[in-house]
Amino acid sequence: MVQRPQKTPRKIASQKRSRVTVDALVEATARILVKDGYDRASTNRIAAVAGVSIGTLYQYFPSKEALVEAVIERHTQELSQVGQTALLKVAASPIEIALRELVRAAIDAHRVDPKLHRVLAEQVPRTGRLEDIEAVERNALPLFRAYLEAHRSEVDVADLDLAAFILVTTVEALTHSAVITRPDVLADEKADAFVEEVTQLMLRYLGRDRGAKRGTARSK
Amino acid sequence: MVQRPQKTPRKIASQKRSRVTVDALVEATARILVKDGYDRASTNRIAAVAGVSIGTLYQYFPSKEALVEAVIERHTQELSQVGQTALLKVAASPIEIALRELVRAAIDAHRVDPKLHRVLAEQVPRTGRLEDIEAVERNALPLFRAYLEAHRSEVDVADLDLAAFILVTTVEALTHSAVITRPDVLADEKADAFVEEVTQLMLRYLGRDRGAKRGTARSK
DNA sequence: GCAATATATGAGCGATCGCTCAGCAAAAAT
DNA sequence: ATTTTTGCTGAGCGATCGCTCATATATTGC
């Protein structure tokens, strides 16, 4: 259990057969993480579920951490993809339109694989190379900042960096919390209200939509 | 390593001597968590640092999880204390004053023991009884909701529950992120600007301070 | 076909872990 | 003073873990 494993894999998958093996290992890791949690996700078990021997596992992943990192990498890519696609789509739209779409996208992203997302967020110790899962935010922040910059005239804030940080952090936290611990606020009829509230939170902060009539078309 | 330990301690500290022991164990656990991380925080090591035998440890804590839970409990209490005190202090103040104070309090709370806070947030697997560290939020939410309710006339939102959830989650996420991953935004000169931005985010959302002059007295 | 290379196997090592238990020591009750 | 209760000790058990390595099997290049 002492951690003095390699830092790099001994081999890199080159033939098709081995690429299949690598995929199976990553997929098995994800499945076990979801089903049994991080602590019970032993490398022996992962190899067994992937249908390969433990030795094979260590051909391509130098440590358990590397395996989990691959899962995080894959998951993060999927999330970021949703976000980037959404940002591209609304790049030319005014903030009133764009922010609403981005909030929707953030929720969609968290729904890609919520169970895995939860495990990664709650159980995987962030250590070494996976210091923070919030790599998604790191990806999203500069992109969103660029959007704000392009729409500078619609936006009334002193510090764009700070504003981008605040908004990205806020949206991530709210969608995360909603998906993970408050599924009720995302139930069918209520989901729109939630999107609307978060959108308003952002719009008003940016100095738009001030004094808009409120309390209409929102229930409870 | 199989997890079939007791669920309750065999003994409960009754004499002063043993209460000292219990304190030492909790304190040692916190110190080791900070210094070595969760994985290396073994019960044997904890007992050694606390200066008691491993057997004694298991007199008062049925499992490693119970020990960590005690640390979380203690830490959570301290945080909640800061929040509750602040809320009491501003209970009668208008939201323009109160929210700013609450933001400050949230930052202060996260500064109580940031290193421990970080370890608890990032490394401790949330499993079993410690499903979510965000118990702080669970404590804060009803209190803050009550404050909003008492100031209903100053607030223009349709759904108080939803608004309270959004604001509490947002403030927690922003102060957490700032303290943990962006200490730069809390540097001396900039801290006030950060407080101000977060306060404005909340105030504007609640329908106050619309159309206020911005871009003054804030730098960069 | 045959060597060379790439891939896969799995028994098992060394380390560590969480935890138990039989016995001893101090404190409280009698 | 003696018994009873409470607190403390630590060697070591059983389990599991991450991981290595000697060996075997596919695949590729010639």
pLDDT digits (tens, 9 = 90+) for B167-198: 999 999 999 999 988 999 999 899 999 999 99
Name the band, by pLDDT with cuts 50, 70 and 90, for residue B208. low
Asked, colleague to colleague, whether A16-62 and A71-205 share their fold, the answer is no
Residue B11 pLDDT > 80, yes or no?
no
For residue A126, the chain B residues in CB contact (below 8 A) are: 122-123
Tell me the pLDDT of chain A averaged across its residues.
88
The CATH number assigned to the domain with range B69-205 reads: 1.10.357.10
Q: For residues B3-15, b (16+ Cβ closer than 10 Å) or e, as one string? A: eeeeeeeeeeeee
What residues does each domain of chain A span? 16-62, 71-205
Using the beta-carbon criterion (under 8 Å), do B159 and A39 form an inter-chain contact?
A: no
B180, HSE (Cβ side, Cα atoms, 13 Å): 21
pLDDT in tens, A51-91: 999 999 999 999 999 999 999 999 999 999 999 999 999 99
Name the band, by pLDDT with cuts 50, 70 and 90, for residue A1. very low
Using the beta-carbon criterion (under 8 Å), do A134 and B181 form an inter-chain contact?
A: yes
pLDDT in tens, B122-170: 888 887 666 665 778 888 999 999 999 999 999 999 999 999 999 999 9
Q: How far is B207 from chain A (nearest CA, A)?
A: 7
CA distance B126 to B69: 10
Q: Is A9 helix (H, G, I), strand (E, B) or coil?
A: coil
CA distance B161 to B181: 29
Among the ranges given (A49-58, A164-173, B199-208), the one the predictor scored with the smallest mean pLDDT: B199-208
DSSP string, B37-85: -STT--HHHHHHHHTS-HHHHHHH-SSHHHHHHHHHHHHHHHHHHHHHH
Domain B16-61, CATH class in plain words: mainly alpha
Residue B219 pLDDT > 70, yes or no?
no
Task: Say if CB A126 and CB B123 are below 8 A apart.
Answer: yes
B54 beta carbon < 7 A from strand D?
yes
pLDDT in tens, A90-106: 999 999 999 999 999 99
| pLDDT for residue B141 | 95
Residue nearest to nucleotide D9 (CA to C1'): B53
Mutate to test the interface with A, among B131, B137, B165, B172 (most CBs of A within 10 A): B165
CA distance A91 to A76: 22
Residue A31 pLDDT > 90, yes or no?
yes
Domain A16-62, CATH class in plain words: mainly alpha
* Residue B87, CA distances (Å) to A55, B111, B141, B214 in order: 58, 18, 11, 27
The domain over range A71-205 is classified in CATH as 1.10.357.10? yes
Sign (positive or negative) of CA dihedral B46, B50, B56, B61: negative
B153 beta carbon < 7 A from strand D?
no
* Residue A117, CA distances (Å) to A46, A125, A134 in order: 19, 14, 11
Q: How far is A220 from chain B (nearest CA, A)?
A: 6
| pLDDT for residue A137 | 85
Question: Span B19-28, mean pLDDT?
Answer: 96
Task: Say if CB A220 and CB B158 are below 8 A apart.
Answer: yes
Q: State which residue of chain B sits closest to A212, comparing Cα positions.
A: B207
